[in-house]
Amino acid sequence: QNHLQSRDQQQLRRFSFGVAFDIDGVILRGRVPIGGSPQALRRLLGDSGSSKVPFVFLTNGGGLPEHRRASELSELLGVKILPSQVLQGHSPFRNLLKRYEDQLIVATGKGEPALVMSEYGFKNVLSLEDYASLFENIDPVSQYKYWATKKPMDRSDLSRNIVPTCDIHSKSVKAVFVVSDPVDWGSDIQVICDILRSGGIVGHKGGTQPPLYFAADDLEYQAGAFFFVSSFINDFLLQAAFPSERLGLGAFRIALESVFNRVHHSPLEYVSFGKPNPFVFKNAESVLNQFQPADEHGGFKECGPVAHPFETLYMIGDNPFVDVKGAREAGQPWFSILTRTGVFRGEHNHAEFPADLVSTDSTKYSLSSWQVNV
């Protein structure tokens, strides 16, 4: 009976709603918090510091393992974020582990794409940069890249656990993963075309195109940018948002696809993950369902799947084509909130993908459920 009672009590304290926050353009612009986002998150966390309201970050961004992104977010926002609350564009790549666990794969994008993949369990990962460095003159304009300081990978690096110990030149690349926004589009397009056209062994002719995976397909997004400022005393870094949206992973995909389809006889085959794919929202729902109020302070802890789904899940995003489209297609219990703090700046609702609610501020809404429950 005690067991039943405590279960009933837990059910009563369970929240009927959860929140999925987009990051870029809603919570942060680059590394700078937008509006009152730290205060809003603190409110969801309550006094005890452990979450009262289940929430996750549902971002198409990435480039760092989830635990590193969680620490970074905790530091930038001044609140404790768990790794399991961070769902990035590339997070579902871990589901492909069975297929590629021991195979040679190449990963590219800003941050540490090879580390991300090796932390998911992939055993033979090379960053595209390291892979390319093993082929002399693969990038014919590399000598003009005055910003590139990295030397060709030393053979001794092959002993690091994220680098395969095989002969790269004769080993076939089984898949290419675009983990986050590529840094050097020119070189990436060249080398990815080389890998895919050759069937996975650069320099060879023909062969089936190895699979290509993108973490997301955002055409544009609201980014932050770093600027070097020189003064008499010192050089320092300043960060500010560029006034208009920047080209994202989807733009890179279009560029790569256009080139590939001109240089190769059959069209590029690829799979894109991230929002607005409905499975991303399904997964967010099941992650949110794993959080329920449980400790004596009214906080919540991670626990197994629960029987009763949420009545409402709020997706708070700045991109109608990604955040709102995805929430709309995911259907019940998703409710979309479109903010004017990033990609979307329209006066009224978006015409093609109207949100359930549009707000100028990314963290203030009049929702009766919030007032009742928070």
For tokens 């910003």, name the residue. Answer: 147
User: Which residue among 112, 129, 188, 218 contacts ligand G3P (CB under 6 A)?
Assistant: 218
At 51, the amino acid letter reads S
Integer Cα distance of 353 and 323 in angstroms? 10
Comparing CB distances to ligand G3P, the nearer of 21 and 131 is: 21
Indicate the residue among 22 and 66 with the shorter CB distance to Mg ion: 22
Binding segment (CB under 6 A) for ligand G3P, from list 55-63, 90-98, 292-300, 307-315? 55-63
- Of residues 200 through 229, those in contact with Mg ion by CB under 5 A are none
200/248 with CB nearer ligand G3P: 248
Binding segment toward ligand G3P, per CB under 6 A, in 166-174, 182-190, 213-221, 279-287: 213-221
Exposed/middle/buried for residue 201 (C-beta within 10 Å: 0-12, 13-18, 19+): middle
The answer to the question of residue 118 lying near ligand G3P (CB under 6 A) is no
| Nearest distance in Å: CB 119, ligand G3P | 19
Cβ nearer to ligand G3P, comparing 25 with 200: 25
Q: Which of 30, 299 has the CB closer to ligand G3P?
A: 30
Q: Which residue in 18, 25, 182, 320 binds Mg ion (CB under 5 A)? A: 25
Report what 293 binds from ligand G3P, Mg ion, none; CB cut-off 5-8 Å by kind. none
CB environment 170-193: b (16+ within 10 A), e (fewer)? eeebbbbbbbbbbbbeebbbbbbb
What's the per-residue H, E or C state across 324-370?
HHHHHHHCCCEEEEEECCCCCCCCCCCCCCCCCEEECCCCCCCCHHH
- Nearer CB in complex with ligand G3P: 211/276: 276
Q: Of ligand G3P, Mg ion, none, which one sits near residue 289, judging by CB under 5 to 8 A according to partner kind? A: none
CA distances from 36 to 3, 33, 88, 125, 317 (A): 41, 8, 22, 40, 15
- Identify whether the C-beta of residue 65 lies closer than 8 Å to the C-beta of residue 125: no
Q: Applying CB under 6 A, which of residues 66, 112, 130, 181 lies at the interface with ligand G3P? A: 181
Residue from 87, 241, 318, 335 in contact with Mg ion (CB under 5 A): 318
Q: Which of 18, 33, 54, 61 binds ligand G3P (CB under 6 A)?
A: 61
Quote the CA–CA distance of 261 and 257 in Å, as a whole number: 6
Residues 19, 85 contacting (CB under 8 angstroms): no
My answer on whether omega of the bond before 320 falls inside 30° of 0, hence cis, is: no
CB of 64 vs ligand G3P, minimal distance in Å: 12
Q: Can you read off the two tokens belonging to residue 247?
A: 């080209």
Give yes or no for residue 22 binding ligand G3P (CB under 6 A).
yes
Q: Which residues bind Mg ion (CB under 5 A)?
A: 22, 24-25, 318-319
Q: Which residues bind ligand G3P (CB under 6 A)?
A: 22-25, 59-61, 181, 216, 218, 221, 248-249
